[in-house]
Structure 1
Amino acid sequence: MSPRDVLWATMPPLLWAIAYTVAKQAMERFPPMFLMSMAYAVTALALYRPWVRVRTPLLPLMAAATLGTSLQSALIFSGIARVPVVTAILADQSQVPFAVLAAWLFGLERANIRRLVGVVVALAGVTLIVGLPDAVGESIGLLLIVLGTLSWGIAQAIIRASSQDAGPPLMGITAAIGAPQLLILSLALETGQAEALRQTTLTEWFELAVLAVGGFVAAYSIWYGLLRRHRLDQIAPFILLMPIFGIVTAYAMLGEVTTPLVVAGGVIILIGLAFVVSAPSAEISTSTQPLPSDPGGLG
């Protein structure tokens, strides 16, 4: 990866950490799945262009949108509602090994031992910070988050294998598919949507805008652009930067205080990420060369 792409790869985890913190605040007003349906609706309005031909085949596109948008959001954000922000962000790091393993199992990438060691080391840091949940509600929340990350990891492998569209259009179409799916799930499983809309303040609408524009429009446009140019097991480990960004945003916005144990875990995460970034990429097979650069993406 070029230094420029390394820099770009740090942006999605930063934006996602901010989005998780903002979502935690917004879920004090909105039911989780209803909140995410609105966030994806805003994303679709910003990025989806129905007059532009979609080149990605329909079946994998629907599978990726359902697994990587609707199902993962329903599970992860329902989990976030039950646990502290930093805990949620740390549990969310399980998406890294799921994404890497899915890419390897689907035959998209060839296994790289140094990269695998880096992922294991970084996850050890995550485990050190998370520890054991304090209550049954937190245990359920963590389980929902892990299941959501599994769904997300599989979706990333599908996108890596099948995507023929640039980052922003791909995010737009997946958001357009996911928003109504999440709304249906919300209406079936949640209550209080109408009351939440009536009582929403300007501050809460602003939080929704930050969540949609920062956490989805910007973050996933960058992410999908990188995914078209690089191996999944190269870029997925950058998500492990989320705990470090999350500790800062959770403290600044919610007053969640960190501990020396969390700092130690963050250092271990960075060491693991250094292994991942420094791993050679000469093992790419001829069938899994990086996809062509986005003509209107990150370059």
Structure 2
Amino acid sequence: MPLRDILLALLVCVAWAGNFLGSATALQEMPPLLFTALRLMLLVVLLAPFLRRPGPGQWPRLLAITLCTGVMHFGLSFWALKLAGDLSSPSIVMQSYIPFSVLLAWAFLGERFAWRTGAAISLSFGGVLVLGFDPLVLDNPASLGLMLASGFFLAISTVLMRGLGGVTRYSLQAWIALVGVSPLLGLSLWLEPGAIGRLGGVSGTAWAGVAYAAIVASVLGHGIYYSLVQRHAVAKVMPWLLLTPVFATGLGIAFWGDRPGPKLLVGGAMTLAGILLISLRSQAKARTAPVAEEL
């Protein structure tokens, strides 16, 4: 890619990595389900002009995608981030949705993959297992499980998106936000009693985290990403986007007090290396690689 587009890809990585720090800061004052609902509410306002009716027969698939992404993926990922004692492990484990997507496409769509892709899948999940034994992660094991579950639901959405027609990416984001708000608010009222009533005492820093997640990470980050994949093959853009967890780890060390140990660093390197190999081999077979989604 030309230097300008490489710099734009790096800007996307910075925007998405910063979302881990900004969201973790906001989650110190807000519970995760309510935070997610507020983010989606702001996205509904911002993306309402892009809402378009899906094509005939697409409603069931669209609703499944919106629930898997907006409610399950986002809700679980922010819950995991709140429980985590660091930014490094959640940002790495979130990428597990890519090998999950390959396995689901094999199981339900009949897509085959060669032994090299299978080895890359094993490498990526082996990396998650290794980093799971890092003391930083062992202090909050539930966070690792929740983020894996979040990645699994995002993988379901990724596979379902392959059969979705007549919906643009911004329109899809708008539908995810619109459909996801009500279930998340209901879950928050049930599982986070009194959280809405405490919003009056939330600081401006926490509200800035909500705004960052919606405006910078979703609208700006995805907007630049879509422009890049319109000009270049996903295989050219994807390797740069895998720098997102690297940047998030750096922000965690600089601003969050992260002190990743050898297991986390080795496991993280294994996970990202496996995911990179999966993405490149998917493109070599002329298939669209899974889209790298931010938190």
- Normalised by the length of structure 2, the TM-score is 0.78
Distance in 2 separating the partners of 1:272 and 1:46: 36
Bigger drift between 84-93 and 238-247 goes to 238-247
Structure 1 position 155, deviation (Å): 1.1
Note the C-alpha offset of 1:66: 0.3
Structure 1 residue identity aligned to 2:41: A
The aligned counterpart of 1:24 is 24
Q: SS at the partner of 1:165? A: coil
AA aligned to 2:25 is Q
1:105-139: CA deviation from partner (whole Å, max 9, x where unpaired): 23274424433433433443343333256798722
1:258 maps to: 260
Cα offset, 1:55, TM superposition = 3.5
Letter in 2 for 1:72: H
2:49 is paired with a residue whose SS is coil
Greater shift, 267-276 or 8-17, is seen at 8-17
Q: CA RMSD in A?
A: 3.8
* CA distance 1:62–1:155, shift in 2 (3 Å): same
Q: Does 1:101 align with 2:103?
A: yes
Deviation string for 1:191-211 (max 9, x for gaps)?
Answer: 232343111222222121111
How many residues were matched structurally? Answer: 286
Take 1:77 and 1:280, find their aligned partners in 2: how far apart are those partners? 29
Which amino acid in the other structure matches residue 279 of structure 1?
A: R
Tell me if structure 1 keeps the 8 A contact 2:137–2:144.
Answer: no
C-alpha change, 1:28 and 1:281, in structure 2 (3 Å) is: closer
Residue of structure 1 equivalent to 2:78: 77
**CA distance, structure 2, for counterparts of residue 94 and residue 283 of structure 1:** 21
Rounded to whole Å, the distance in 2 between the matches of 1:226 and 1:158 is 23
Deviates more, 1:206-215 or 1:129-138: 129-138
Give the distance between the partners of 1:225 and 1:170, measured in 2 at CA. 16
Cα pair 1:108 1:157 within 8 Å, conserved: no
1:85-164 map, 5 Å = 85-107=87-109, 109-131=111-133, 138-164=140-166
- 8 Å CA contact retained: 2:132, 2:144: no
- Please report how far the alpha carbon of residue 7 of structure 1 lies from its aligned counterpart in structure 2 after TM superposition: 8.0
Q: Does 1:37 align with 2:37?
A: yes
Q: TM (normalized to structure 1)? A: 0.77
Whole-angstrom distance in 2 between the partners of 1:117 and 1:226: 29
Residues 32 and 81, structure 1, Cα contact 8 Å, conserved in 2: yes
Hey, what's the Cα distance between the residues in 1 that align with 2:41 and 2:13? 22
Q: Could you tell me which runs of 5 or more consecutive residues in structure 2 were left unpaired when the two chains were aligned.
A: 289-295
Q: Is there any run of 5+ residues in structure 1 with no aligned partner, and where?
A: 291-299
8 A contact 2:134–2:261 mirrored in 1 = no
Conserved? CA contact 1:167–1:225, under 8 Å: no
Match of 1:48 in 2: 48
- Select between 150-159 and 188-197 the one with higher mean Cα deviation: 188-197
Query: Which residue of 2 is the match for residue 67 of structure 1?
Result: 68
Kindly provide the CA deviation profile for residues 221-269 of structure 1, in whole angstroms up to 9, marking residues without a partner as x.
5667889999999988877544312211212331212344444444444
Distance 1:137 1:160 in 2: 38
Deviation string 1:125-166 (CA, Å, 9 cap, x unpaired) is 343333256798722232222222211110111112214322
- Name the residue aligned to 2:292: none
CA drift at 1:220: 4.5
Residue 174 to residue 11, structure 1, CA distance change in 2 (3 Å): farther
User: Structure 1's 147 and 128: CA in aligned 2 closer, same or farther, altered over 3 A?
Assistant: same
